[in-house]
Homo-oligomer: A and B are copies of this chain.
Amino acid sequence: MFEITQHTRLRRSPFYDATVAAGVTSFMTYNQMLLPTGYGDPEAEYWRLIEGVSMWDVAAERQVQIAGPDAARLVQMLVARDLSKCVVGQGRYVPLCNHDGTLINDPVLLKRADDCFWLSVADSDMLIFTRAIAGERGLDVQITEPDVSPLAVQGPKAEDTIAGLFGDWVRDLKYFWFEDATLEGVPVVVQRSGWSKQGGFEIYLRDGTRGTELWNVIAEAGERYGIGPGNPNPCERVESGLLSWGGDTDDDTNPFEVRLGRYVDVEREYAEEIVGLQALRRINEEGPKRYQIGVVLDGDTPEPSNAVWLPIEHNGARVGHMTNGVWSRRLKRNIGFALVSRDVTVGSRVDVVKDGQRVGAETVWLPFI
């Protein structure tokens, strides 16, 4: 355990003080920000998400705001998914690719106005990327990182918690739709969203000086439902089959390989305008070489979580990698995602190689649960 030196490019979340008060014990870095990864009781944190309600500092999901006369045009140039029917107040999951069709981020897009969009981004620099494209194309847009910091409330009791705070209208929000609101004077955006399959909301704080206030108000409202601190949960997200960009993808992964082909409209017109679409069409025609499935490892002894890619062998030949590994508390098995050659069918026996040791496993479809 080493000290992490503070510097201007490693930013604290507006919820930092609140998470420290709540007993945070570990962080990861994400978009040059400290993102809590645990509060000392992984077992309780997991079950709270599965059975109750959990609150997460996910301020590190930074917003890239694209505004101005050409904003809508630029956003559509950046994503291969057809956005023509997306209306103000609606969100969309929009994989972003570079010119080679490689997945470089997988944000949620929020259409704030006809000429203003937020990209709620994963851990890669989309300010640099979107500005580069806008600059090259001479578009009339302003691209900034606004003072916006999401706090996720997740779990089966999340809706009751959020409805108690904002009113029953939140129950009618469709997935990824959002509304502006205030909470005891704190300006927020309420969206049905979040990186779990347990249901819930993301509350986008719009004033970075009021993080502790917002945290405490939500903690108080959730008390009756047993709310407690948590974070994007490595176990639940693997069980649920949720992709981690940059975790389950490498510098050569395209959307078709990681179950995102349905977000690529290869039939789109104006393909030459859309970054990467020509490459994506080519990949789609040729057929992607890898695909993402699950592996269930032999044995029922819990192994530590694993965030390093491990080789997978099939009949003695290297066929791909296990890109994550967790002990599933519900399945009572060690499981993980596999990014492997399409030659490996689901239901195959494979070996996962860790520290020179081979562990047998069976390939399965995702999600696990």
Contacts and interface: CB of A to CB of B under 8 A. Distances in A.
Number of copies: 2
A184 interface: no
A9 B246 contact: yes
Contacts of A104: 128
Contacts of A133: 132, 136
A295 B281 CA distance: 57
A125 B125 contact: yes
Nearest to A138: B99
B7 A307 contact: yes
Nearest to A275: B135
A18 B330 CA distance: 40
Interface residues of A, number: 45
A128 B26 CA distance: 29
Contacts of A3: 1, 25-27, 38
Contacts of A275: 135
Nearest to A99: B135
The dominant DSSP class at the A interface is loop
Most buried by B among A4, A38, A125, A246: A4
Contact of A10 (B29, B99, B135): B29
A141 to B, nearest CB: 11
Nearest to A24: B2
Contacts of A136: 99, 132-133, 136-137
A259 interface: no
Given A3-B1, A135-B99, A246 B128 contact: no
A100 interface: yes
A123 B7 CA distance: 12
A74 to B, nearest CB: 13
Contact of A132 (B4, B123, B129, B307): B129
A131 B98 CA distance: 8
Nearest to A276: B135
A8 B308 contact: yes
Contact of A26 (B4, B29, B124, B137): B4
Nearest to A26: B3
Given A124-B128, A129-B128, A2 B28 contact: no
A100 B143 CA distance: 11
Nearest to A98: B131
Sort A-B residue pairs by CB-CB distance and give the 5 closest, nearest first.
A99-B135, A132-B132, A3-B26, A136-B136, A5-B37
18 contacts: A3-B38, A4-B28, A5-B26, A5-B27, A6-B308, A7-B28, A8-B307, A8-B309, A8-B323, A10-B28, A29-B32, A99-B134, A124-B128, A125-B128, A132-B132, A132-B133, A132-B136, A133-B136
Given A6-B308, A99-B135, 4 more contacts: A4-B27, A5-B27, A5-B37, A8-B246
